[in-house]
Structure 1
């Protein structure tokens, strides 16, 4: 929580404002309970129960996180974030089929924040989830089933293609709390939780996904999925998930990305 919001909280507590109302306002602006408690200290209402309380620990303990070996995934041995690698998640034929669909409907990629300089993200994007395709439908369901989160708690699948020299500079997938971005993209549908990314081809050189805070690179290998939780188990965004789609040096890189949210229709588990 930045100093402006801390000052706002302290000021309103000193004025005798209802702590429950203050907590509700802070939660609507993307702050997790743990962060709010740290600022409010003994003024945090002990019996507070949000009407739409999200079970973040359950989201962090989805089926994949509880038993990665059951689907052939391997957990990254790092306590700073939840990250899993799942080789051969898609077959070569499935990958080739998705890339053929992508190449017919590519558009320039965009970002959710409007203040980033030209060249920050230079790939092309395909809105795969909007296509009427049995292949995409089946992959969509397979992703949700593997993660163990209801597909209704997710965004549509997107495809991205990077040519030589193209990249997506260091960024996070979650929406920054207390920002216009958060209000616009997370206000109704909720914060981004899990990211499920699949490499559709093996890039000849370059194109690694570099997690900048933990100094780990993942090289594009056809069919491999890299999956991570953008949030901590109290719903607070995890800055350790910052990653950089490194420039392609030779060949190209095509990926699928599917983002999940912290709320949706129906139960959490699909």
Structure 2
């Protein structure tokens, strides 16, 4: 399966979103670029405080179920975490989402509902991309749901004793969970085509439990 060889019908929209987010983040003194010339990855320390992280963890524990993945033809188990969408109408969730929307400068309506994820010892999410494969059967529905994904925003909710990194497998970059830290990346190249160097994995947790939330943005209004 190649994302690069698949049609890219949202290329122009993704180019525009990427350019806007790039300008916004690179001008923000709170935001650090992670060094690589092959992908656009940013980091923000202490995006959520300790109390906000604790509240988000409680929400995840109330909704988490065994995680699923979209069918890309894999026959082995690819994702062993628990996950679940948080309650989009909850005032606390709306406050967190508004903070992410403002940082990125993307309309709220373009973002999917935040998904919470919990990884116990030994659990992982093997290497994957957040983009949709436009040759897959599910793409017909995703076109109606807002098209291709543009930006991923992931917040680490706790420190993990050992393991549980977010590893960009083609780049040799591994980000260790740090409570309250926000990791952001553009899933596409500057021209709006898929960037396969955003391939990433949630590596197995060796000690402790890992909690994160992830918000994906589309190329236009979601849903």
TM-score with structure 1 setting the length: 0.75
Shift of 1:207: 0.2
2:8 aligned to 23, 30, 46, which one? 30
**What is the rounded CA distance, in whole Å, between the counterparts of 1:68 and 1:235 in structure 2?**
18
Kindly indicate whether the alpha-carbon contact (under 8 Å) linking 1:30 and 1:178 is maintained by their aligned counterparts in 2.
no
Gap runs ≥5 in structure 1: 7-25, 34-53, 266-270
**What is the rounded CA distance, in whole Å, between the counterparts of 1:155 and 1:188 in structure 2?**
10
Report the secondary structure of 1:77's partner residue: coil
Structure with bigger strand share is 2
Structure with bigger helix share is 1
**Equivalent runs, 1:69-88 vs 2, <5 Å:** 70-88=28-46
Report 1 or 2 for greater relative contact order, CA contacts < 8 Å, sequence distance ≥ 6. Answer: 2
Per-residue Cα deviation, 1:115-166 (whole angstroms, up to 9, x for no partner): 33343100001211x3542111100111111111111111000100000000
Shift of 1:210: 0.5
1:185 aligned to 127, 135, 142, which one? 142
Aligned residue pairs: how many?
220
Gap runs ≥5 in structure 2: none
Q: Which has the larger radius of gyration?
A: 1
TM-score with structure 2 setting the length: 0.90
Kindly indicate whether the alpha-carbon contact (under 8 Å) linking 2:24 and 2:105 is maintained by their aligned counterparts in 1.
no
**Equivalent runs, 1:94-243 vs 2, <5 Å:** 94-113=52-71, 115-128=73-86, 130-243=87-200
Which structure 1 residue ranges, 4+ long, deviate > 6 Å from structure 2?
none
Query: In the alignment, does 2:207 pair up with 1:250?
Result: yes
**What is the rounded CA distance, in whole Å, between the counterparts of 1:117 and 1:164 in structure 2?**
23
